[in-house]
Amino acid sequence: MKTNRTLEQNRQNMNQFFDKVTVQNILTCFLTVMILGFSLAGAHAETQADGLIHITTVDNENNDGTGEPDNDMGKELRPSIYNNNPAHPIEFNINVTGSLPVSSAYLSVFIEDIDWPKEQDEIFLNGRSLGIAVGENNLNNSTLFVIPDLSWVKLGNNLVQIFVDQNNTGWRAIVQSGQLIFDDNAGTDTTSIRKFKHDSDSSGYDYGETVTINLDADTKLATQNLRLELLLRDPAGEIIAFDKSLEARNWTISADSDELHKWQFRLPASGNDGLWGVSVTLYDIEEQLFLIRRTVTFSVPVGAALVPTPASITPDNCLAGEAKAVVITGSNFIPNETNCTVGNSAMDNLRVVDNTQITGNVPASLPPDTHDVICTTSNGEGTLSDAFTVTGPNISVSEIRDDTSYTFTVENTGNTELVMGNISIAGTGASKFTLQDDNCSGRTMMPSETCILKVVFSPPLTGSTIANVEIPSNDHDTPIIRINLGGEQGPAPTITRPATTDTAFADSEITVRGNADPGATVEIFVNGVSRGTALASSSGRFSLSGVQISQGENAVTAVATNAY
């Protein structure tokens, strides 16, 4: 296996690559567009099956990221690239058009002359490591990788890089093709697997035993030539062996007869106890196109504990209302038997890729919270606690109070839309308060957006108040925020001027005077509309000038507030 130093070295090399791409795009934008146009037309071979498989067999990229091929890969060209070659690392783009994957995605590469396991060639997609490819000296082999996070795949060019073993000089690789497979769909509907099983009656083996895997496939064609990728993985997901037989490299099946392929291998003398797995991937030998994939599992040693054990989920979060594609890694996953839930909700499109990996979708109905991942088989149940987080809108309310009103600021501090309900005032003293400047009710607020709400005392008002302002929203944790509106109002003030209710005025502004408790804040209303406030003096007198009145009759009232 690679050392941490080597993995870090590969990542540094990729960072330098993307830095070069950025600089190149800034300095020579027009030239790059011209080169890309030429390259895509003249040096980009691609086959697509219903937009679900995208394959590249001709070079179309270089280490500077300009889109001009540097001839370091290709099915026909078959260039031999050593790890000290100026064109290293080997790189090419797989262009994705149409739609992105919904539930799962794989990357498969065909590489010749990988002397695995001594030679460790690491595969990257868009700057992220997928693992180590397997192969044989001077022979062409395929390796299929599960892409753990669908956000790693994008529309347009997806950069694939192959770093030939960085620990030792003298290694080389001949890259023929690469393909992205979406949602586990077959490249054609001509091929199916009738039987794929091991020969143990007890569903288990002991270390050192010989295992026989039987494969029977059908085709709708008269004859079909297939490439078989058969891999043995232990419970930790490590590749232990692969089928090196000549028949696996070129297996011919026909529509009118049964052909059985057998792979025999000896288990190691020791290893990780648990559920081991053999996966088979079928390709069309001419196009190197993915067709179908299956997995069979068995216990090692006989009687080993086989409780499914989820160890991680990637990605580990999503937004509320989003159906998120995830990959669960762990051990002891049994094909056609393992079921997984996230937050007690069954996953959609669940598929056991092999004994250590599961793909599927977290349902959009999962509420905001941190949820457990639970996987179940006939052997028991395994739990990964607090593993997946659903985040949604989050309402935050702050307030400013003065002597006569509350001003509330409502903010969406979450990362999805906050939908406000109709704000109301409830409680035995609700009639003593009025909503003013309600800019929040019924509003849909984006993250970080705010709105303002004001609550004022309504005249006439005396005595204590018991009321709440109720602010409903789609916040999962607090669907209704209730804020107490409390206070102690003094006795109603006495208006001494205007002296009578039938006084006539020639001007549109008057002065209102009266008496109230010393220190009380007095708010003056004309026809129920506030015209301002005045502070009662130590002798209890107040005065407010410039009070506007309208033509006709005007009802002038006053409300005194002592303290909250």
- What radius of gyration do the chain's Cα atoms show? 36
pTM of the model: 0.69
Residue among 290, 306, 301, 283 nearest 356 (CA): 306
The per-residue pLDDT for 44 is: 36
Indicate whether 13 pLDDT > 60.
Answer: no
Average pLDDT over residues 105-130: 96
The per-residue pLDDT for 186 is: 62
CA 189/CA 191 separation, integer angstroms: 6
CATH 3.40.50.10710 for domain 4-182, yes or no, is no
CA 350/CA 340 separation, integer angstroms: 8
Average pLDDT over residues 535-545: 81
Range in 313-327, 364-378, 439-453, 536-550 the model is least confident about: 536-550
Indicate whether 33 pLDDT > 90.
Answer: no
| Residues paired with 470 in a beta bridge | 424, 482
CA 461/CA 488 separation, integer angstroms: 10
Instruction: Kindly report, as residue ranges, where domains of CATH 2.60.40.10 are found in the chain.
Output: 309-391, 395-489, 494-563
Architecture of domain 309-391: Sandwich (2.60)
Confidence of residue 466 (pLDDT cuts 50, 70, 90): low
The per-residue pLDDT for 8 is: 46
Indicate whether 362 pLDDT > 80.
Answer: yes
Confidence of residue 45 (pLDDT cuts 50, 70, 90): very low
Q: Which residues contact 348 (CB under 8 A, 6 or more apart)?
A: 103, 323, 360, 361, 363
Confidence of residue 557 (pLDDT cuts 50, 70, 90): confident
Q: Buried b vs exposed e over 105-136: b needs ≥16 C-beta within 10 Å?
A: bbbbbbbbbbbbeebbbbbbbbeebbebbbbe
CATH 1.10.40.30 for domain 494-563, yes or no, is no
The per-residue pLDDT for 465 is: 59
Tens digits of residue pLDDT in 56-99:
999 999 999 999 999 999 999 999 999 999 999 999 999 999 89
The per-residue pLDDT for 555 is: 85
For every residue of 61-109, DSSP letters joined together read --TT-SS---S--BTTT---EETTSTTPSEEEEEEE-S---SS-EEEEE
In the CATH hierarchy, which fold is given to the domain comprising 395-489?
Answer: Immunoglobulin-like (2.60.40)
Confidence of residue 22 (pLDDT cuts 50, 70, 90): very low
Instruction: Kindly report, as residue ranges, where domains of CATH 2.60.40.3880 are found in the chain.
Output: 191-300
Tens digits of residue pLDDT in 411-436:
998 888 999 999 999 887 788 888 98
For the chain, the distance separating the N- and C-terminal CA atoms, rounded to the nearest angstrom, is 71
The per-residue pLDDT for 433 is: 87
Average pLDDT over residues 490-497: 78
Pick the CATH number of 191-300 from 3.40.630.30, 3.30.70.20, 3.30.70.260, 2.60.40.3880: 2.60.40.3880
Indicate whether 450 pLDDT > 90.
Answer: yes
Indicate whether 454 pLDDT > 80.
Answer: yes
